[in-house]
Every structure is written in structure tokens, then in C-alpha cells.
Amino acid sequence: MNDRPLSVCMFSNLYPPVVSGSSTQLESLSRKLAAAGNEIAVITARIVKDSKEYEEVEGVHIYRLPAIQLPRLPISLNFPWMSYTFTPGNLRRIEEIFARHKPDIIHLHNHMFDLALSAVEMHRRTKKPLVVTIHTIVKHAQGVYNMLLYPADRILLKRLVINRASVLIAPDVIYENYARDVLGGKRIEVIPYGIYPPETARPEQVEELRTRYNLAGKRVILSLGHVHALRNRKDLVEAMPYVVEKFPDAVLLIVGTLGDELPVNLAKKLGIEKSVITTGARPHSEVPAFFALSDMECHWLNQDSPKNTSLGIASLEAMRAGKLILAAAYEGTYGPGVLRNGENIVLVEPGHPQELGRTLVGLLSDDAKREAIGRRAAQTIEEHCSWERVSSRTLETYRQVLGR
């Protein structure tokens, strides 16, 4: 039992070609588990219309269900990939998939999308254990929306989804606290996100992006990740006048879906619109080239307390690529001693743009310091977030659940 290959059905509304952190994580995890000899089926939403309803990629069976794409709404942070799949027809399709693959484990990614209901329903029908990975803390920047979101998350989703899980997987300590204190999870495993070794940027792609965004001869402060009310880069944009005063050629390059116009509008108001560039959503394949173009990567600097702020997947990828990361995040995110301010990361307090500007100027002025912190960052991520380690711990969690 402990050594035999397992059959796992993964559920998530988000999967490539949808571009998001959780979709790329699920894609990599499913491929690593399949490469180890396990049978992996992914059930997702067919949001991108020219994507295939079924395909097998690197041993992973991918089933995309017919989905109604929902409009962007402020309450969902104008997220572009909201969809609805919970229909009788899709449940019949899922039953057929289960009959074909006979899963030992059901693994749900993202507890707040509607495929969570399908995963729970199949857990009820088949009595197979349910594992849930928490990828998102349900919270809004505007309190009025939290009056609706908090009860939905902490009462409805807790009762319908979380309480049905045999184990919750949290990617770091902050998500662990959320899963325990807010969602009331009884058994939680902390398994960090997996990060691959960096790919070598293709020179022609680097040059194409440099030309497209007029970055030749520029100091580039990169900020990866979707832009919305909780990730609006307000502090970064407000810090740029202080940076530009010292380095007129410096630019803030924001790469991600623009669900909040604040960075663009604020840059115009400050008269630095030429120093703040937004690209919109870009394919993950361009990330190595963006790293090659940049001097550092700045995490999105949400307006929350650093004690409640994790590092994003994009920042972990940048660290693995040897880039200095600046963030308003929690030093204990991965436990004591993993992140060390000034050694393998630079941490700042949110809400102080002038101080942030001075920090950015200091870092741009010291190439050797940036490179040294970047090297130590790469070593840290290699030690703690390798896909071999992450997939092994995930498989071990499955076996523990089945053993119980």
C-alpha cells in the first residue's frame, strides 16, 4: 500500500493556458507526480475557448469542463478567470472521469471556486479522501465587501468544503494560521510552493521585450503578479519619484493582469507615467526574459500588515533565479531562519513610500550587494522549495491520509 502508485483526481478552476500562480503550481505538481508513476487526472474549467476539452500532457490527463465565464466584478477583485461549472451535465462528465481513473485521492486546489462543490460531491459519492490546498486567503481591501465575503468563507465554505477535508495543505505559515484560526482546519500540513531551477532566457526574447517596452539603457524594477485592490502597487508607484530623482532612467515594470487602474492613474497624477510601465497579462514563458531585463523584483507590497503577507510565487521564482527580492512580507513566512532580512531578502514596512524610495535608491546604487543577496536567495529556494521535495511531501501526505 505504501509503495504502490496512486490514482489522484485534481480539481481546480484554474489550469493552463489560464495564467495564475495556482494554475502553474497545479500543472507542475501533477506532472511531477505523474513522472513518479502515479495516475493523475486534472479536472478544470474550459475558460480559454481554443483550449482542448481533453489532452494528455507529460502523462497528465487534463479534462476541461464546459464553463460559463463570469464578468469581472469589484467584489472578486476584477479577477479575469471567474467561471461557473457546477451543472448536472458536468457532474455526469466527472462521474465518467472517475469511472475511468478510479482515484484513490481527491485533491482540490482553491477552496472558493465552484469546482470545490464538485470535488465535495464526488467525495460524498465515492467516499474517497479529500485533500484541499489553500491557495488564497479570502479578503478584500474594501470592508463593505468583507461583510459578504467573510460569512461566505468562514461559515458557508467552511461547512461545505473545509470540514469535509481529511487534511488541508498550506503553502506557508500565514496560510497555516488562516486555515487553522479562520477556517477551523483540524489537520494542516505546511508544504511550500515548488520552484523549478531557472530557465535560461532566450536572447532574442530578451531583446524583443526590451524593444517592446523601451527598456534599453534603463534601470528596471520588476513587479510580477496580477494587479488588483490588494496588490495595487500603491507604495511602489509613490516611491518612484524619489527613485527617478536619483536615477532618471529607472522604470517600474508591472507584469500582470490589470484589474485595478490605480498604478496607471497614480503615475499620471505624480507626473511619472513614463517611469511606470504596465504590460498586462503575459505568458509564463516570458518570465525568464523579464528576470534577465531587471535589476530586482519587488513584491506587490499590499497595504496589509507584513505579519499577514506571504511571498508570491513570482517572487519565489525570482529568488531562485538569483534576483534580489524586496517585499513587505513576514520574515517568518517559512519558519524561523529561512528568510533573513538583508541576507537573502530585503523587507520593508508598507505605507512609507519615501523610505521605500530611499531603500530602492540604495539598492540600485550597490550592484555587489544586490548580487550577493540574490545568490543567497537562490540557495534558500533551492533548499526549501525544490519540486522533488514538494512532490515527495505531497505524496507522503496522500499516503498518510489513506493509512488513516
Mean pLDDT, residues 153-157 taken together:
93
Residues 314 and 392 both lie in one domain: no
CB 96, CB 118: distance < 8 Å? no
SS3 content of the chain, % helix, strand, coil (to 5): 45, 20, 40
Alpha helices in 155-197 (DSSP H): 158-160, 173-177
Residues 207 and 77 both lie in one domain: no
Could you give the CA distance from residue 365 to residue 246 in angstroms, rounded to a whole number? Answer: 10
Q: How confident is the model at residue 179 (pLDDT cuts 50, 70, 90)?
A: very high
The pTM of the full predicted model, rounded to 2 decimals, is 0.85
Could you give the CA distance from residue 343 to residue 335 in angstroms, rounded to a whole number? Answer: 16
pLDDT at 194 over 70: yes
- Per-position DSSP letters for 148-159, written without gaps between them: HHHHIIIIIIHH
Asked, for residue 2, whether it belongs to a domain, the answer is no
pLDDT tens by residue, 273-289 = 999 999 998 988 999 99
Residues 185 and 278 both lie in one domain: no
214 exposed, middle or buried (CB, 10 Å; 0-12, 13-18, 19+)?
A: exposed
Residues 60 and 136 both lie in one domain: yes
Residues 190 and 97 both lie in one domain: yes
Q: What percent of the chain has pLDDT over 90?
A: 82
Residues 33 and 151 both lie in one domain: yes
Q: How confident is the model at residue 1 (pLDDT cuts 50, 70, 90)?
A: very low
Number of domains comprising the chain: 2
CB 131, CB 218: distance < 8 Å? no
Mean pLDDT, residues 64-72 taken together:
93
Residue 74 has what pLDDT? 84
Asked, for residue 71, whether it belongs to a domain, the answer is yes
Residue with cell 508570491: 312
Closest Cα partner for 82 from 184, 183, 192, 226?
226
Asked, for residue 239, whether it belongs to a domain, the answer is yes
Q: How confident is the model at residue 226 (pLDDT cuts 50, 70, 90)?
A: confident
pLDDT tens by residue, 310-322 = 888 889 999 999 9
Asked, for residue 344, whether it belongs to a domain, the answer is yes
Q: How confident is the model at residue 81 (pLDDT cuts 50, 70, 90)?
A: confident
Could you give the CA distance from residue 101 to residue 41 in angstroms, rounded to a whole number? Answer: 7
Q: Which domain holds residue 185?
A: 7-194+386-403
Asked, for residue 141, whether it belongs to a domain, the answer is yes
Could you give the CA distance from residue 57 to residue 31 in angstroms, rounded to a whole number? Answer: 8
Residue 143 has what pLDDT? 84
Could you give the CA distance from residue 169 to residue 377 in angstroms, rounded to a whole number? Answer: 24
Asked, for residue 1, whether it belongs to a domain, the answer is no
Residues 115 and 171 both lie in one domain: yes
Residues 150 and 118 both lie in one domain: yes
Residues 71 and 97 both lie in one domain: yes
The H or E element spanning position 254 is strand 250-255
pLDDT tens by residue, 88-115 = 999 999 999 999 999 999 999 999 999 9
Residues 268 and 123 both lie in one domain: no
Residues 44 and 174 both lie in one domain: yes
The CATH number of the domain where 32 resides is what? 3.40.50.2000
